[in-house]
A and B are shown apart, each in its own frame.
Chain A
Amino acid sequence: MNKLLKKADIFLILIISLACSAFLIPRLFSDSGLQAVVYKNGAEISRVNLSEVKESYETKLDSTPAATLRFEKDGVCFSHAECKDKLCVLTGKLTHKGDVAACLPAGVVIVVEGSGKSLPDVITY
C-alpha cells in the first residue's frame, strides 16, 4: 500500500488549516459580542455573532408554521410568523444577554448569549 505521508498530504493539511483559520481566528477575537442562538425542536441549528452582522438580514426558517428571523447588529427578532397568536413576533427585538423569544407551534426558540455578566440570571413569569 501507500506511504503514510507524502508532500501532497502536507500541502493538503496546510491549505485546509489556513482556510479554516481564516474563518475561525476572527471569531476568537470578536468574543465580546452578543450571539443569537436559534434552537429548533431542542437542537441548536444556528449561532449568529451579532457583532459581525454588517447589514441586517432575514432568514426564513423551514418550520411549520413558518417563521422568519431578522438579524441586526444589535439584536434579533421574529419578524414574521404564520402561527396563530404571534406571541413570538410580539416579544420584540432581543438585545440583551438572556433575552428569549419562542414560537411554540414551530418549535423554534431564540436565545441571546454573550460574554460578561448581566443581571438577572433568569426571569420568572
Chain B
Amino acid sequence: MNIYALKRGRRLLPEMNKSKSKMLPLIMIVAAVALAGLVTLDYFRGNREYTKNDIAMGSVVSQKLTGKRAQKAAEEIINRISYIESNNLSMNVSTSDISRINDKSGTLVEVSDDTAAWLSTTLDVCRSSNYALDITVGALTKLWGIGSDTARVPAQSEIDNALKTVGAKNVYISGNKVRIPATQMLDLGAIGKGIACDEAKIIAEKQELERAIVSVGGSILLYGKGDFNVGIRDPSGDANEYMGIIKTKAACVSTSGNYEKVLTFKGKTYHHILSPVTGYPAESGLVSVTIVCDSGLLSDALSTASFVLGYESSLSLLEKYNAQAVYIFEDKSVAVTDGLKDSFSIKNSDYRLR
C-alpha cells in the first residue's frame, strides 16, 4: 500500500504501481515461508524420530525410526510385515505358503524362497534343541486354541491324537519344495515375529536409517549405532512395567513368557507355550526367558526352545547360536548368561539374581 491510499482514506482501493506490486507479493511469500518455517521448526525441535504404530500378526507393531527416510521406511516395514503374514506365514490365510503346506499335507508343495529359507533355519534350531522347539505342533495348538475365541482344555485322548501328528524330523524340504506327513500341521507362531524383525532390519539398512527400534508384539529389532536400553516386562506387572533393563548394542531381542496368552479353566491357568512332548503347557520352572541374538528368527526360536527346555538344558543351545539370555524363575529369582552379566540390571527389588 502506498501513502496516497492512506491519505485518501479507506474507501479507495490502493492503486499499486508496478514496482510496488512486485515487492508486496515477494514480502508475503517471505512472510508465509517464515511462518511455515517456524511452525515446522517447532515440530522438528524435539527429535527427528518418526514413530508409527500399527497392528499386525495379532499384536502391536511399534516403530521408532530415526533417519532421513524414516517415514518411508516405517511405511515399507509395516507393509512388508503385513505381506509376509498373509503371503508366507499365516495359518489363517488359505493362500499363504504355510497354509498351502498344511492343506496339502502329505504332498510336495512349492513355496517362496523366503519361506524355504526360514523353514530351513528353523528346522535347524528344532533339531539342535532336541525338538523342544517343534514347528509341527499345529494340530496341538489348534486343539487348545489358547489366545483365540475357542480356547479350551482338551481331553487326554484328543491330546494324544494331536501328539501323534507332531514331529519336525519328518518334515521334508529340498530347495523350494516342502512336504509334511499327512495330518501334520505347521505352526510358525513361535518365530513369525522374529522373522518380521529381520525383514525390518533389511529395510532399515536399505533406507539407510540412523537408528531403528521396531517392536513386533514384544520381539524387538534394535538397529543402529550406540547403546539401547531394553526393559524386560515384569511377569507379574502390567504391560508397561519392567523388572530389569538390558543395555545392549544393535541386536534382536525376544521373550517367551507364560503370562502373555493364557486360558483359565476351573481355577487352573494354562499358558500358550505347549511342550511338543507332553502336549500340555511347558513346565520348566521358568516364568519367562529373554534372548538377545543378532537374528530375529533365532532369538524368537531360541526363546521358545529355552522356555520348554528350562534353564540348564538350554545353555548349550544358546552357546551354539551365540545368544545371550535372561531367565526369570517362578520364585522370582533371575539367571543371566555370562555375556549379559555386566549389561543386565534388575530394577524391581522383588526379583533377585541367583
Contacts and interface: CB of A to CB of B under 8 A. Distances in A.
B54 A119 contact: no
A7 B1 contact: yes
A123 B51 contact: no
Contacts of A28: 42
Interface stretch (B92-100, B128-136, B200-208, B225-233): B225-233
Nearest to A6: B13
Interface in B220-261: 220, 222, 228-233, 238-240, 242, 245, 253-255, 257, 260
A96 B240 CA distance: 9
Contact of B231 (A17, A41, A123): A123
Nearest to B253: A124
Contacts of A119: 229, 231, 245
Contacts of B24: 4-5
Interface stretch (B56-64, B111-119, B307-315): B56-64
A4 B220 contact: no
B255 A125 contact: yes
Contacts of B21: 3-5
A115 B43 CA distance: 12
A9 to B, nearest CB: 9
Contacts of B25: 4-5
B306 interface: no
B155 interface: no
Contact of B240 (A5, A37, A100): A100
Residues of B in contact with A, size category: 35 or more
B295 interface: no
Interface in A99-125: 99-102, 104, 107, 109, 111, 113, 115, 119-125
Interface string A1-43: 0011111000001000100000010011001000001010110
Given A5-B24, A125-B257, A90 B242 contact: no
Given A7-B13, A102-B60, A104-B58, A122 B215 contact: yes
Contacts, number: 124
A94 interface: yes
Given A5-B28, A96-B240, A120-B242, A125 B13 contact: no
Contact of A39 (B39, B53, B245, B254): B53
B213 A122 contact: yes
B14 interface: yes
A54 interface: no
Contacts of B253: 124
Given A42-B54, A124-B255, A109 B239 contact: no
Nearest to A38: B53
A91 interface: yes
B52 A42 contact: yes
B218 interface: yes
B178 to A, nearest CB: 30
Contact of A124 (B46, B54, B78, B230): B230
B290 interface: yes
Nearest to A27: B42
Interface residues of A, number: 39
B231 A91 contact: no
B51 A5 contact: no
Nearest to B288: A125
A7 B35 contact: no
Nearest to A90: B238
A107 B230 contact: no
A107 B78 CA distance: 14
Nearest to A99: B240
Contacts of B28: 5, 13
Nearest to B299: A124
Interface of A: 3-7, 13, 17, 24, 27-28, 31, 37, 39, 41-42, 84, 90-92, 94, 96, 98-102, 104, 107, 109, 111, 113, 115, 119-125
Q: Give the 5 A-B CB pairs with smallest separation, nearest first.
A: A125-B218, A120-B231, A125-B233, A120-B229, A42-B54
13 contacts: A5-B16, A7-B5, A39-B53, A96-B240, A100-B239, A100-B240, A111-B51, A111-B62, A121-B213, A122-B64, A123-B232, A123-B242, A125-B260
Given A100-B62, A122-B62, A124-B231, 8 more contacts: A4-B25, A7-B10, A13-B28, A27-B42, A42-B78, A100-B239, A111-B51, A124-B290
